[in-house]
Amino acid sequence: MTKSPPLFGKISLIGAGLIGSSIAQAARRANLAGHIAAYVPRAETRARAERIGFADSLHDELPPAIENADLVVLATPVSAYAELARAMAPHLKQGAILTDVGSVKSAVIKDVAPLVPKGVHFIPGHPVAGTEQSGPEAGFAELFDGRWCILTPPPDSNAQAVEKLKEFWRRCGSDVEIMDATHHDRVLAITSHVPHLIAYNIVGTAADLETVTQSEVIKYSASGFRDFTRIAASDPTMWRDIFLNNRDAVLEMLGRFNEDLAALQRAVRWGDGDALFNLFTRTRAIRRSIIEAGQDTAEPNFGRQPRDKTKT
């Protein structure tokens, strides 16, 4: 049996963080690229990327990184996209696919689409996968396995290019969904952005108390708080950019959250046990659905290992 040719001749990754390096490793695993190039302007990050060796070539300048690339993937914080797109435009190959991995999509289309040359297929994307860690070392080939990747192609997109990008993500291990960018931003506001915002917020609140010390918060965090700190340890630059670029949807969902929290606060104040019990029963069912959909483990405490006794 002869090995089939790779899906793309050359893939160019703009950025070498958790997502960029995971894409490189997933693409290698599935033989999706003849050559993987990465643009990593910072010398220190480039040295770290080199040590891991996930790309065939690392570049400190854009033109050689994207020259002749069949697929270019923006994988930096979204605030850098516009400048990068402007710098890339003259060097993109005709017929190339330009995509990204940002967690917001309407703002990305507004920023990037006008800068993309005719004959280059711009198909925004968002692999809904990640960990709280960042940097080239955080990446791994299995990150996208069984996770969803959402593509938000503008209405006039080239169908063949969309199909090819779908195939790319499927071979990276993902299920692919096509969605309107505005709808994507609403869905992610409630499933990701607002949860991150309130996690960051409660961790900040806990840190600022005078009546409870920070060391007490840390000692007793296994009672719930520690779960929030994982999310609140996510990359600050990436998350700043998400909130700056999905303002309307985040504020809409946060408005709902606040309304509901006011009602819940009232139930606590007035001792309305039935209201509390009913909500707490309803939310249990959603956990079950997420486990059944294969989007989380059924293991208690996420399957965390009990603390090693030798460490006590």
Q: Which of residues 203-242 bind a second copy (CB under 8 A)?
A: 203-209, 211-212, 214, 216-234, 236-237, 239-240
Our finding on whether 57 is near a second copy (CB under 8 A) is no
CA atoms within 13 Å, Cβ hemisphere of 44? 1
Q: Report the C-alpha gap between 46 and 51 in whole angstroms.
A: 9
Our finding on whether 187 is near a second copy (CB under 8 A) is yes
Comparison of 66 and 199: residue with beta carbon closer to a second copy:
199
Our finding on whether 78 is near a second copy (CB under 8 A) is no
Compute CA 284 distance to the chain's CA centroid, rounded to the nearest angstrom: 26
Answer for the pair 139, 181: CB distance below 8 angstroms, yes or no.
no
Smallest separation, CB 213 to a second copy (Å): 9
The residues in 81-100 that bind a second copy, with binding defined as CB under 8 A, are none
Region from 32-40, 54-62, 156-164, 252-260 binding a second copy, contact rule CB under 8 A: 252-260
Our finding on whether 105 is near a second copy (CB under 8 A) is no
Out of 34, 117, 135, 195, which residue is the one contacting a second copy (CB under 8 A)?
A: 195
Would you give the binding string for a second copy spanning residues 115-134, x where CB under 8 A is met? Answer: -------------xxxxxx-
Comparison of 68 and 131: residue with beta carbon closer to a second copy:
131
Our finding on whether 180 is near a second copy (CB under 8 A) is no
Query: Token digits for 65?
Result: 């990184």
CB-count exposure of residue 280 (10 Å: 0-12, 13-18, 19+): exposed
The residues in 144-163 that bind a second copy, with binding defined as CB under 8 A, are 145-148, 150
Query: Token digits for 311?
Result: 């460490």
Comparison of 54 and 228: residue with beta carbon closer to a second copy:
228
Our finding on whether 199 is near a second copy (CB under 8 A) is yes
Smallest separation, CB 19 to a second copy (Å): 12
Smallest separation, CB 140 to a second copy (Å): 8
Smallest separation, CB 287 to a second copy (Å): 4
Our finding on whether 304 is near a second copy (CB under 8 A) is yes
Residue 240 carries which DSSP code? Answer: H
Q: What is the dihedral of CA 103, 117, 122, 77, to 10 degrees?
A: -20
Smallest separation, CB 59 to a second copy (Å): 28
Comparison of 70 and 100: residue with beta carbon closer to a second copy:
100
User: Which residue type, as a one-letter code, is found at position 77?
Assistant: P
Our finding on whether 190 is near a second copy (CB under 8 A) is yes
Region from 26-34, 87-95, 109-117, 269-277 binding a second copy, contact rule CB under 8 A: 269-277
Comparison of 114 and 294: residue with beta carbon closer to a second copy:
294
Query: Token digits for 199?
Result: 């996690």
Q: Report the C-alpha gap between 57 and 47 in whole angstroms.
A: 12
Q: Which long-range contacts (CB under 8 A, 24 or more apart) does 173-176 make?
A: 173/26, 173/30, 173/142, 173/144, 173/145, 173/146, 173/147, 174/127, 174/129, 174/144, 174/145, 174/146, 174/147, 174/148, 174/149, 175/146, 175/147, 175/148, 175/149, 176/148, 176/149, 176/150, 176/151
Answer for the pair 4, 32: CB distance below 8 angstroms, yes or no.
no
User: Which residue type, as a one-letter code, is found at position 71?
Assistant: L
Out of 63, 95, 119, 294, which residue is the one contacting a second copy (CB under 8 A)?
A: 294
Our finding on whether 136 is near a second copy (CB under 8 A) is no
Instruction: Say how many residues touch a second copy, by CB under 8 A.
Output: 117
SS3 135: coil
Answer for the pair 70, 9: CB distance below 8 angstroms, yes or no.
yes
